[in-house]
Amino acid sequence: MWRLAVCGLLLGAITLAVQASEDPTESLAGVHDLTPSDFDKYVNGGKHALVEFYAPWCGHCKHLTPEYKKLGEAVAASPKLKDRVVIAKVDADAHGSLGEKFGVRGFPTIKFFGRGKSTLSPEDYSGGRTSEAFLQFLEEKLEEDRGFARIESLDQLASAFLTASDKTGASAALKAAADKLDNVQRGAGELYAKFAEKASTKGSDWFQTETARLERLLGSGNVGTSKASEISKKLSVLTAFMPEAGKDEEEEVTKAEE
């Protein structure tokens, strides 16, 4: 009899543990619980944001919780992702105004808010509901957004630098243009000037070599948040000096003319 009682207690404990792990209202590491009062603080176009809109009673939302927990932990532990991506969830049953604002009609609904884009028109996430699928989606979005730190006026000078016979003069022109930028863009502008100066003495192959070095460093996981942010910005600016960047721009112009 006592064995049955012990088994019953163990089964009850296991059931409670499973239920707790599938509670969508649970606070999850790396995942922000948002309300109407702080939604715009975290989802404002400054970073990519993946937001789950859920209801506590929703069975599918409960089953998603363990995967969303793994996603939050993975993003928080990734130097590449944690300073550029926000993972969040909203109890749209308790905060119906947010659900209505973003056209939520069922649960769970997952929306992607792209960096630099209007938060009024998020993208519906329709991919897999596993942490691996979420991570792959986010990494693809980051790859598409590699040029986040680039400045259009300096991109033209960077392209001219690649074909200039007088690298020193082209580098000086970049520095002069960068010095005229406002405080918001000056940091990125200084990178343009610094990179051009380096390549003018080391050769244009330096851009590829430096890109490979920084990507290895970022992928190592041995850099802190601020350092990872700095590296990501450098990698973004470096894309302006890649021959493919200028080629893509030319193709876009050609298509527009056609």
CATH code, domain with 173: 1.20.1150.12
Residue that terminates a domain, selected from 92, 124, 144: 144
Residues of the chain with pLDDT under 50: 1-20, 245-258
Residue 8 lies in a domain: no
14 within domain boundaries:
no
37 lies in the same domain as 97? yes
Residue span of the structural domain in which 225 resides = 152-257
Task: Cis check for the bond before 108: say yes or no (omega within 30 of 0).
Answer: yes
- Check whether residue 172 and residue 122 sit in a common domain: no
Distance (Å, whole) CA 66 – CA 105: 23
Q: Is 32 a catalytic residue?
A: no
pLDDT of residue 246: 42
pLDDT of 249: 41
pLDDT at position 218 is 77
User: Catalytic pick from 7, 8, 46, 60?
Assistant: 60
Q: Does the annotation mark 60 as catalytic?
A: yes
Residue 118: its pLDDT value, please? 84
pTM of the complete model: 0.68
Question: Residue 232 in contact with residue 219, Cβ under 8 Å?
Answer: no
Number of domains in the chain: 2
Among the candidates 123, 144, 165, a domain finishes at 144
108 and 159 assigned to the same domain: no
Is 48 assigned a catalytic role? no
